[in-house]
Every structure is written in structure tokens, then in C-alpha cells.
Amino acid sequence: MTRPASSAAPQGAAIAEGGKAAVRRPFRWKDRMGLIPIAVFLLVWEIVSTLNESYEYFNPIFLPAPSDVVKEMWYLGQTGLITESIAASTVRILLGFLIGLVSAIAVGVLMNKYARVEYWLSPILNLLGPIPALALLPIFIIWFGIGEVPKVLLIAWTTFVPVLTNTLDGLKSVNPTLIRSALSLGAKERHIFFKVVFPSAIPSIFVGAQVSLGLGFSSLIVSEMMGAKSGLGYIIVDARNYFKMSNMFVAIVLIGLEFSLFSYLLKLLERRLVNWRQNGVRNAVEK
């Protein structure tokens, strides 16, 4: 009878050590950031552009090489245009994204708690939700003028709908057994919400936030292309007007880099807030 217990102990220790190893594994940039696929993509792009310059399969101006884009980026950086554009776009996306995120979570909580609120808001949101941002931007410009307000509101609206949908899904997908268990232990309504319901919905909220981040960047660039004097979208419009393909690719690359950085930071925040999904019961039980 003692032999199985002794054999089970090393297994438990191994599992514990494995869990610690999984938590403490070293940070690998190439795995987390996907640097190898990006490097291969840039290498292929450079080769294709170089061959096209030699054999002219099509106009070489249409596809500048990454090395040429980097040179142009360095030149624009010396003029201060890149710093100014990144700062303007970052402020707009942060404001719009945070406003849309907080508003969607608040409305989702109200719709989940009060059936009457869901009854009145759900049909309206289903009607307005599928409308593309490009169709709403002219209306926002007419209402609020050409400035920062319509851009931020457009990003906020684009963020609002996916986050609200995923928030409702997360709140309504909570296991009823968890709620009944909390009630049996004497938990009050606010404790059940903050300790059981809302934490269970956080993964769904982050799914909506990731989707909304991409849509928010799309709305940002569209708004800056139609009514702005600064920003990454403005660089694209200015490059189109003067047929500066290198400048256009500089803006496109910067948009991709900024979105990748924001998406990565959002994933880091998600791992910190929902680490109980990775580490199991050990981190789920409060100490």
C-alpha cells in the first residue's frame, strides 16, 4: 500500500516542477514576436524588388525594396514628420479605443443585469452595428467638424460593437454551478459579480478587444485620410497626391509595427489578468 504512494509523490513533484518550469521559461523574442517569419518576408520582398529593378517585370517605382523604405524612413525621421505622425495617431487610437472599451463593458454589464435594457438596446445595436466606419465618418465630420472629435468617436464606435458582443457572451456563459456555489457559501450579489461573473467574462472581453484593435486602426487610417493634417493616414494621402511610393510604404510599415506593438501589449495584459487559465487551481485560489 505504501509503494504506490511513494511512486505517486515523484509524479506530483514532477508535475509541480513542470508547472514551475512552464511559468519560468525564458522569454524568447523570436517565438513571441514572430521575428523569423517577418525576416523571411522582408528577405523575399527585397529579392523580388531587386530582381524587378534589374529585369523590370513592372514599374520598379510601384514596389520599392525594404532597404529603400528604411532609407526613406530615416530621411522622414530627420524632418520630424514620423515622430509627429506617430504621436498624433497614437493619441487618437488610445483615446478612441479606451472610450469604446469602457463604454462597451459598462453597457454589457447593464444589458446582462437588466432585461429591459437589453430589450431596448439590442435591436438598435443590431441595426447600427453592421454599418461600416467609412459610411459614418462623413456624418461625424458634418456633426462635429474637421478635428479630433470625429476621429476619436469613430474609433470608439468601431471598438464598442465587438467588445460589447463579446462582453455579453462572456457574462452569459458563466457556469451556473459557480454562482450557486458562491450563493451557498453566503456570498452577496456584488461579491458574486466581482469574484465570479466578471472574472469569468474577462477572456471574452479580451477577445473582443483584440478584434476591435484591428478595426480601430482601420478607422484611424480612414479618418486621417479624409480629414486630417497629421497622422500616418495623412502621410499615405500626401504620398498618393505626389506619387511618393516610398513614403506610402513607410506609413504602411509604421502602421503595421504600431498595431503589432499594441496587440502584443494587450496580450501581455491578458496573460497577467487571466493567469489562472494557464496555472490552474494554484493561482485561482486566493491567498
Task: Spell out the domains of the chain, with CATH numbers in brackets.
Answer: 77-275 (1.10.3720.10)
Number of H helices, E strands in the chain: 15, 0
Predicted confidence at residue 60, as pLDDT, reads 81
Q: Does position 12 have pLDDT exceeding 90, yes or no?
A: no
Predicted confidence at residue 94, as pLDDT, reads 95
Mean pLDDT of 247-272: 91
Global pTM reads 0.78
Q: Which long-range contacts (CB under 8 A, 24 or more apart) does 243-246 make?
A: 243/61, 245/61, 245/62, 245/63, 245/64, 246/64, 246/68, 246/69, 246/72
Confidence of residue 183 (pLDDT cuts 50, 70, 90): confident
Share of the chain above pLDDT 70, in %: 84
- Top-confidence residue, 120 or 18: 120
Predicted confidence at residue 19, as pLDDT, reads 46
